[in-house]
């Protein structure tokens, strides 16, 4: 009961202080508001950016079997002594894994050719990615169909000349048609019938290629047009993607089983090293951690200066509040109020004032999540909300400790006599 009474009185005094001189209080809390906004906004953008990279561009819960590890170009001699000699993932290996893998929910092979020209009649568009996809490719990358449909099993298995095209491709090739389904596009002088279009994604926040500029065709049809699976040094390499089950935390079982099966398929003896790489999206996120840490630190530095100013502002309000309520403090102590009661009363008031500033900053961050950032989906996470409120509380606690201690140590007789 005493705690509730203390909190209620502190809230009342804080509200009274806020109303008595609104302009002074708002200006004092502005530093906390700006500080919390700076820190939480940067952390929210960083968290959203990392999640966006992993989810939208690399897939979630996915392992990619490549010829070399991501970032292998920075490994000097290893590139020429090891990686360049490795074979690309093959269609037969994909079929073997698909038939024998027990812990994989999705198995798919795909290949990609960049910077192609796609035509339709007198219209054309450059710098288009053409993806050759096997079954379940759409489950790896979550292809969202706008009009028409995705490739069927018969079309993929038969290597038929059909295509699913991106929004910008459809717009450029058939500007006057709202529904290009059933029409044709030409890739490397071969005609492909359009069976579906992909929903518009918008521009990538990080410059990654967008599905708006993509044509997806069956994997076997891709091999008719581009060099892949030929064994030549300049062929377009294929990649096998594996998606696991949610209960396989960290995809440990999937990775171990796939590694064992692929070693058997390639005839690797126990003492031989893997001649393939199992890449994970987390590796990209970890490689960017240094950049994200710098951005987060910048947010803390900028926000720290603002919160320092805000802290002094709240301390100023509390000093004024102690002076204005000196006689009330004396009366409370003469009626038996303990020092800790007075101390906590002013500390709670300081914390509440700081929380008002923190909530204002979080509200601005929440508004920021509705701002357009292209394909970047910005989300204010519960962790960042708790962090913002926690930092606000600490600022209020530090700013109010000295005024609260002064109030608690007052002599009741002298306090009552004060004007």
Q: Which tens digit of pLDDT belongs to each residue from 306-364?
A: 778 778 888 887 887 788 777 877 877 777 777 777 788 788 888 888 888 889 889 98
40 within a domain of the structure (yes/no): yes
Calculate what percentage of the chain has a pLDDT beyond 70: 84
257 within a domain of the structure (yes/no): no
385 within a domain of the structure (yes/no): yes
Boundary-marking domain end, from 176, 211, 246:
246
Whether residue 41 has pLDDT greater than 60: yes
CA proximity to 180, closest of 189, 188, 171, 190: 171
Give the model's pLDDT for residue 217. 95
pTM summary value: 0.64
Do 162 and 129 touch, CB atoms closer than 8 A?
Answer: no
Tell whether 23 and 126 lie within a shared domain.
no
Tell whether 240 and 389 lie within a shared domain.
no
Do 285 and 60 touch, CB atoms closer than 8 A?
Answer: no
Q: Among the listed ranges 3-17, 127-141, 195-209, 219-233, which one has the minimum average pLDDT value? A: 3-17
List C-alpha distances in Å: 156 to 137, 141, 218.
10, 17, 5
Neighbour-count burial for 207-228, b at 16+ CB within 10 Å, e otherwise: eeebbbbbbbbbbbbbbebbeb
| Per-residue tokens: 350 | 């300081």
Whether residue 110 has pLDDT greater than 90: yes
**Which residue reads 């091999």 in tokens?**
223
Q: What is the mean pLDDT of residues 233-237?
A: 74
Whether residue 162 has pLDDT greater than 90: yes
191 within a domain of the structure (yes/no): yes
What crossing angle do the helices spanning 22-52 and 339-368 adopt, rounded to 10°?
50
Tell whether 165 and 238 lie within a shared domain.
yes
Q: Among the listed ranges 52-56, 101-105, 141-145, 305-309, which one has the minimum average pLDDT value? A: 52-56
What crossing angle do the helices spanning 2-20 and 22-52 adopt, rounded to 10°?
110
CA atoms of 366 and 368, how far apart (whole Å): 5
Q: How many structural domains is the chain composed of?
A: 2
255 within a domain of the structure (yes/no): no
Give the model's pLDDT for residue 14. 63
Pairing of strands 104-120, 238-244: antiparallel
Tell whether 106 and 228 lie within a shared domain.
yes
273 within a domain of the structure (yes/no): no
Tell whether 128 and 28 lie within a shared domain.
no
**Which residue reads 């290996």 in tokens?**
93
Tell whether 34 and 103 lie within a shared domain.
no
CA proximity to 216, closest of 273, 170, 262: 170
Sign of the Cα pseudo-torsion (208, 214, 217, 221, in order): negative
**Which residue reads 């449909």 in tokens?**
149
CA proximity to 310, closest of 358, 364, 352, 343: 358
The more confidently predicted of residues 67 and 123 is: 123
Q: pLDDT digits over 115-144, tens only? A: 899 999 889 999 899 999 998 898 888 888
Q: Among the listed ranges 19-28, 51-60, 388-397, which one has the minimum average pLDDT value? A: 51-60
Do 71 and 277 touch, CB atoms closer than 8 A?
Answer: no
Give the model's pLDDT for residue 208. 57
Give the model's pLDDT for residue 214. 93
103 within a domain of the structure (yes/no): yes
Do 37 and 364 touch, CB atoms closer than 8 A?
Answer: yes
333 within a domain of the structure (yes/no): yes
Tell whether 162 and 206 lie within a shared domain.
yes
Q: What is the mean pLDDT of residues 245-258?
A: 84
Greatest alpha-carbon pair distance for the chain in Å reads 98
The whole-angstrom distance between residue 26's C-alpha and the CA centroid of its chain comes to 33
Structural domain span for residue 123: 88-246
Boundary-marking domain end, from 246, 271, 298:
246
Tell whether 29 and 158 lie within a shared domain.
no
Boundary-marking domain end, from 193, 220, 246:
246
Tell whether 302 and 217 lie within a shared domain.
no
Do 144 and 275 touch, CB atoms closer than 8 A?
Answer: no
Q: Among the listed ranges 170-179, 284-293, 403-412, which one has the minimum average pLDDT value? A: 284-293
Q: What is the mean pLDDT of residues 180-196?
A: 93
């Amino acid at each position: 009961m005493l705690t509730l009474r203390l909190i209620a009185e502190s809230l009342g005094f804080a509200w009274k202080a806020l109303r008595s001189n609104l302009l002074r209080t708002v200006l004092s809390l502005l530093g906390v508001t700006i500080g919390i906004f700076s820190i939480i906004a940067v952390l929210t953008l960083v968290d959203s950016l990392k999640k966006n990279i992993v989810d939208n561009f690399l897939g979630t819960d996915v392992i990619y079997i490549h010829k070399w590890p991501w970032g292998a170009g920075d490994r000097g001699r290893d590139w020429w002594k090891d990686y360049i000699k490795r074979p690309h993932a093959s269609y037969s290996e994909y079929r073997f894994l698909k038939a024998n893998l027990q812990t994989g929910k999705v198995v798919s092979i795909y290949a990609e050719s960049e910077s192609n020209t796609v035509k339709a009649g007198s219209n054309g568009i450059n710098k288009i990615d053409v993806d050759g996809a096997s079954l379940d490719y759409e489950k790896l990358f979550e292809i969202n169909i706008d009009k028409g449909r995705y490739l069927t099993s018969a079309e993929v298995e038969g290597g038929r000349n059909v295509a699913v095209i991106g929004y910008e491709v459809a717009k450029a090739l058939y500007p006057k048609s709202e529904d290009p389904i059933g029409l044709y596009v030409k890739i490397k002088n071969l005609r492909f019938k359009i069976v579906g279009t992909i929903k518009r994604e918008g521009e990538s926040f990080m410059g990654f290629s967008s599905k708006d500029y993509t044509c997806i065709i069956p994997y076997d049809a891709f091999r008719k047009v581009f060099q892949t699976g030929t064994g030549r040094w300049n062929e377009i390499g294929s990649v096998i993607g594996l998606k696991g089950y949610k209960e396989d935390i960290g995809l440990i079982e999937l990775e171990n089983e796939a590694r064992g099966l692929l070693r058997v398929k390639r005839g690797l003896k126990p003492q031989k090293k893997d001649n393939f790489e199992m890449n994970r999206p987390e590796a990209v996120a970890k490689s960017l951690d240094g950049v994200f840490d710098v951005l987060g630190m910048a947010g803390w530095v900028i926000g720290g200066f603002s919160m320092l100013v805000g802290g002094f502002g709240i301390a100023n309000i509390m000093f004024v509040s102690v002076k204005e309520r000196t006689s009330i403090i004396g009366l409370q102590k003469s009626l038996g109020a303990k020092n800790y009661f007075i101390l906590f009363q002013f500390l709670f008031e300081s914390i509440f004032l700081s929380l008002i500033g923190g909530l204002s900053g979080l509200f601005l961050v929440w508004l920021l999540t509705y701002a357009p950032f292209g394909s970047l989906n910005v989300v204010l996470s519960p962790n960042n909300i708790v962090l913002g409120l926690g930092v606000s509380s600490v600022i209020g606690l530090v700013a109010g400790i000295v005024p609260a201690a002064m109030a608690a140590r007052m002599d009741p007789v002298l306090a009552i006599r004060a004007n």
